[in-house]
Amino acid sequence: MRRELFTGCKAFGIMVLALFSLASAGCDFPRDPRSTLEDVRNGTMRVGIVDNDPWTRIEDGRASGAEVELLKDFAEKLGAETSFVQGTTPELLEATRQDEIDVLVGGFTSTSPGVSEGKEAGVTGPYLTTHSVVGVPPGTPAFDDPSDREIAVERIGATAALLKEEGAVPVAVDDLSTAGMPVAAYGWQLRAWGFEPTSIVLPEEQHIMAVPLGENGWLVELERFLRAHRPEAKELLRKEST
């Protein structure tokens, strides 16, 4: 029994040694099972877009928005062309599963259903944190209890869900800047539109992007880029949302 254990420990030691020497040998680690990173470099980066202003927009067949601009920079850094595919979240998740899309964006957050669970696509760590503030039109009295108040949002989505949790009644309006009622928006938007911010700050939203499952080399490269470009991302968001 003692002998058997001894050889066990030795085998373990050899295994650990082998693993670490392997780990230090290669610098292009981890690798992709389907070589996405290699294909994108000096090739084309296929970007899936779910329309979600100000993060992503499609106007006259042209893609724009904060995340789109960010990915264009990433493609440039990799020496790649970009091609954009527009669709709904389920369509594009399916395409990502099929490895027909390299990266999927659409203002997704760490609570976006379908994406954030990482079941259909791999997700990056949060690369940007935002929070919305409730503001009131000029000349309207401010309030600090959102319960049962109607508050305008651009569309019923993540922000509306957060408002509901606070007890407010979210109302979708076309243009927040001309809404004659309290709105939920980013701080700089409120300032630009001349709204008075209230003390009601909604919980943070952590923004993520999605990639095909298991493409770890590609995922890590994207995460590295996003981490290094946080200030640019914030700046792009401000520009696109005012």
Instruction: Assess contact for 151 and 163: CB atoms under 8 A.
Output: yes
**Phi, psi at 216, each rounded to 5°:** -70, -35
Q: How far apart are CA 12 and CA 198, in angstroms?
A: 61
Taking the complex as a whole, the smallest distance from the CB of residue 220 to another protein amounts, in Å, to 4
Of the pair 13, 194, the CB lying nearest another protein is at: 13
Whichever of 160 and 211 has its CB closer to another protein, that residue is 211
C-beta of 35: minimal distance to another protein in Å? Answer: 8
- CB of residue 20 to another protein, shortest distance in Å: 7
CB atoms within 10 A of CB 71: 25
Nearer to another protein, 57 or 229 (CB): 229
Question: Cβ closer to another protein: 43 or 214?
Answer: 214
Is the Cβ of residue 38 or residue 73 nearer to another protein in the bound state? Answer: 38
CA–CA separation, 232 and 235 (whole Å): 5
Half-sphere exposure of 143 (CA within 13 A, CB side): 14
**Residue 76 to residue 237: CA distance in whole angstroms:** 19
Q: How far is the CB of 189 from another protein (least distance, A)?
A: 29
Check if the beta carbon of residue 176 is closer than 8 Å to that of residue 186. no
Q: Give me the residues that bind another protein (CB under 8 A), please.
A: 1, 5, 8-9, 11-12, 15-16, 19-20, 22-23, 29-33, 35, 118, 122-125, 212-217, 219-220, 223-224, 227
What is the Cα 241 distance to its own chain's centre?
A: 16
Q: Which is nearer to another protein, 26 or 139 (CB)?
A: 26
- In the complex, the smallest distance separating the C-beta of residue 72 from another protein, rounded to whole angstroms, is 21
233 is written with which tokens? 């991302």
d(CA 154, CA 168): 15
Residue 70: CB minimum distance to another protein, A: 17
30 prior amide bond cis, ω within 30: yes
